[in-house]
Structure 1
Amino acid sequence: MAVLASYARIYVDDLDTALPTFKALTGAEPGLRFSYRGVELASVGGYLLVAGTPEALAPFRNVQATTVVDTLDDVLAIVEREGGETLSGPNDVPTGRNLTVRHPGGAVVEYVEFDAAKVRDHSVG
């Protein structure tokens, strides 16, 4: 299994209001932008901004990071072997498939396996 990228999750009220600051901080333009389950998401630099109302954000707030991997199957095997817990997934999502797990020790991480065609559909620019 290869980790391709990791994003710190930042929860915000409004994506359009938050993006200019994160663009300035990172010197990067948003890479992806899409909606999912009542929230809007955008990747910029090493951040994944997740925007919505408090109610819409509530189911996502316990997730501490998003990690892109080459295969979710390996993540599932490692989590099972190490005693972690699958909280959700694998699910079809706008950029491919995802899986949310609680690791031993309590960290909650979303893992995403990108589908190249879906990623192109949600790429900005």
Structure 2
Amino acid sequence: MSGNIQAMIANVSVDDLEEAIPLYKELAGDPEVLRFPYKEMQLALVGPFLLVSGPKGNHEAQNATILVGDLAPVLEALDKAGAQIVDAPSEVPNGTRLVARHPDGSVFEYLQPRA
């Protein structure tokens, strides 16, 4: 299963994306910033940081986003462990995602990026 994990991205809730981006760009070595909306929120991917701003509504706070090559073995492992699927797999602008609460209470977003 670990061979399926490609990267882990820290999720950071911020009040103001524009104010927060410069620090995270510097920390990450000045990468290109990818911005995109999700529901009522605005997001910015800055290297290994996903900055999230805006009304969270019923959005589940997540520990991290885990990029995977294939969601199928993730779903199998989550089911086997008794994890709760918070958001079922769905298409989003950058791939297919799901959100799961692990038995220990931690919440992770799993994303299979578009090829």
Provide TM-score, normalisation by structure 2.
0.90
Deviation at 1:101, TM superposition (A): 0.3
Task: Please list every run of 5 or more consecutive structure 1 residues that lacks an aligned counterpart in the other structure.
Answer: 117-125
Contact 1:11 1:61 in 2 (8 A): no
Shift of 1:24: 1.4
Deviations 1:53-102 (A, max 9, x none): xxx22433521111110111111110001111111110111101100001
Output the aligned Cα RMSD.
1.4
SS of 1:57's equivalent in the other structure is coil
Deviation at 1:31, TM superposition (A): 4.6
Determine the C-alpha separation between the residues in 1 that align with 2:93 and 2:78.
24
Please tell me whether residue 11 in structure 1 is matched to residue 13 in structure 2. yes
In the other structure, the counterpart of 2:37 is 35
For residue 45 of structure 1, report the CA deviation from its aligned partner: 2.2
Q: TM-score, normalised by structure 1?
A: 0.83
| SS across alignment from 2:90 | strand
1:101 aligns with 2:103: no
> Hey, what does 1:111 align to over in structure 2?
110
After superposition, the C-alpha distances for 1:24-68 in whole angstroms (9 at most, x for unaligned) are: 12213235221110111111122111111xxx2243352111111
**Residue segments in structure 2 that go unaligned for 5+ positions in a row:** none
Q: Moved runs in structure 1, 4+ residues, more than 4 A?
A: none
- 1:59 is aligned with what amino acid? N
**Distance in 2 between residues matched to 1:108 and 1:13, nearest whole Å:** 21
Higher helix share: 1
| Cα separation, 1, equivalents of 2:64 and 2:57 | 15
